[in-house]
Amino acid sequence: MKNHLHRLPEYALWLSLAVLAWFAFAVFAPKIGLIGWQTGFGFMTVTAGPILLAIAALVAVIALALAYFRKPRGVWWKAALALAIPAVLFAGLLSVRAQGEAAPPIHDVSTDVYDPPRFSAQTLAMREEWGANPLNDYATPLGQLEMWQDRVDPDMAIKTHADVIAENYGDLQPIATQQVSQQQALDAAVAAMADIGLQDIRRDPATGTVEGVAETFAYGFRDDVIVRIRDGRVDMRSASRVGVSDLGYNAERLRELSEAIRQRLGN
């Protein structure tokens, strides 16, 4: 029994490393298709993750106390490292939660809130195959949309997507293309999408659109992106396939894409 207590810091460290491996698997396994995002993010990270972190931290605290205060003093640094691992992971979870609370509760953003670019039938089919979020009318109040019912407060429930985008992402504006041809603008959009790392880039000259897919580094979440060149302007839209809030990533992607298009156009 004494030998096991003496080795408790070592056991605690192995436990914390196991929890770290759990989170690594949860984050990256969905990206390579080993598990679904619902398992990796929903169960392993959101549901089970905090419980495992609490257990690992508790064992580490006990191990640290025993190693530091018992005579002879044990390898306390192993217990300290065992405590640091769940502490850092928990801080990361809190940071993501804070980011989610600070971001607007939407996952579909466009530079044209009155007539957002429309995704092609191919993209809609891919979203349906994924079981993706519906693409909602920008003019409908959030409180009237099923996904947001009982999830937003009364003040937010009366706002539409157009309202939320205008209030939070007013810097997202269309790009003027009067100085270049339609073909040049399409070429710039295709190149810009590749520049920022989008995949499955598809051009449709008939509709003046270019579409691509963004995949997140963690969990392999996918967002659909479309650029529309029409009436001497470039409009963009990015919509997540899953999740209620996108933590602001779609707006940030459109900023990055806009800058890449401007550079390609020489604006």
Write down the pLDDT at residue 179. Answer: 83
Domain termination site, one of 102, 128, 144: 102
Q: How far is 26 from 219, CA to CA, in rounded Å?
A: 7
Q: What is the pTM of this model?
A: 0.86
**Angle, in degrees to the nearest 10, between helices 8-28 and 48-69:** 160
pLDDT digits (tens, 9 = 90+) for 34-85: 998 889 998 999 999 999 999 999 999 999 988 877 666 667 889 999 999 9
**Domain extent for 8:** 2-102
Q: Is 91 helix (H, G, I), strand (E, B) or coil?
A: helix
User: Which residues, 6+ apart, have CB-to-CB distance to 199 below 8 Å?
Assistant: 212, 213, 214, 215
Write down the pLDDT at residue 71. Answer: 64
pLDDT digits (tens, 9 = 90+) for 121-169: 999 999 999 889 999 999 999 999 999 988 889 999 999 999 999 999 9
User: Are 58 and 172 part of one and the same domain?
Assistant: no
User: Are 141 and 114 part of one and the same domain?
Assistant: yes
Asked whether residue 267 carries a pLDDT value surpassing 80, the answer given is: no
Q: Is 51 helix (H, G, I), strand (E, B) or coil?
A: helix
- Beta carbons of 235 and 117 less than 8 angstroms apart: yes
Asked whether residue 2 carries a pLDDT value surpassing 60, the answer given is: no
Residue at token pair 């196991």: 18
User: Are 73 and 144 part of one and the same domain?
Assistant: no
- Tokens describing residue 65: 């106390």
* pLDDT band per the 50, 70, 90 thresholds, residue 113: very high
User: Distances from the Cα of 17 to the Cαs of 117, 186, 241, in angstroms?
Assistant: 46, 49, 32
**Chain centre to alpha carbon of residue 201:** 20
Domain termination site, one of 102, 117, 148: 102
User: Are 123 and 222 part of one and the same domain?
Assistant: yes
Q: Read off the pLDDT of each residue in 105-134 and give the average, rounded to a whole number.
A: 95
* Beta strand segments in 80-157, E: 108-110
Residue at token pair 């520049």: 195
User: Distances from the Cα of 229 to the Cαs of 166, 181, 196, 218, in angstroms?
Assistant: 21, 10, 19, 31
User: Are 15 and 64 part of one and the same domain?
Assistant: yes
pLDDT digits (tens, 9 = 90+) for 220-235: 899 999 999 999 999 9
User: Are 155 and 229 part of one and the same domain?
Assistant: yes
Give the Cα-Cα-Cα angle 36, 38, 41 (nearest 5 degrees). Answer: 105
- Beta carbons of 176 and 261 less than 8 angstroms apart: no
Write down the pLDDT at residue 184. Answer: 93
User: Are 22 and 118 part of one and the same domain?
Assistant: no
User: Distances from the Cα of 190 to the Cαs of 14, 172, 252, in angstroms?
Assistant: 48, 19, 18
Q: Sort residue 106 into left (φ over 0), alpha (ψ -120 to 50) or beta.
A: beta
User: Are 128 and 239 part of one and the same domain?
Assistant: yes
User: Are 73 and 34 part of one and the same domain?
Assistant: yes
Write down the pLDDT at residue 178. Answer: 80
User: Are 157 and 253 part of one and the same domain?
Assistant: yes
Structural domain tally of the chain? 2
Domain termination site, one of 73, 102, 131: 102
Asked whether residue 252 carries a pLDDT value surpassing 80, the answer given is: yes
User: Are 79 and 121 part of one and the same domain?
Assistant: no
What are the phi and psi torsion angles at 68 (to 5°)? Answer: -85, -35
User: Are 118 and 241 part of one and the same domain?
Assistant: yes
Q: Which of 29-38, 44-53, 186-195, 210-219 has the lowest mean pLDDT?
A: 29-38
Q: What is the CATH number of the domain that holds 149?
A: 3.30.310
* pLDDT band per the 50, 70, 90 thresholds, residue 214: very high
Q: What percent of the chain has pLDDT over 70?
A: 96
* pLDDT band per the 50, 70, 90 thresholds, residue 19: very high
What are the phi and psi torsion angles at 230 (to 5°)? Answer: -160, 140
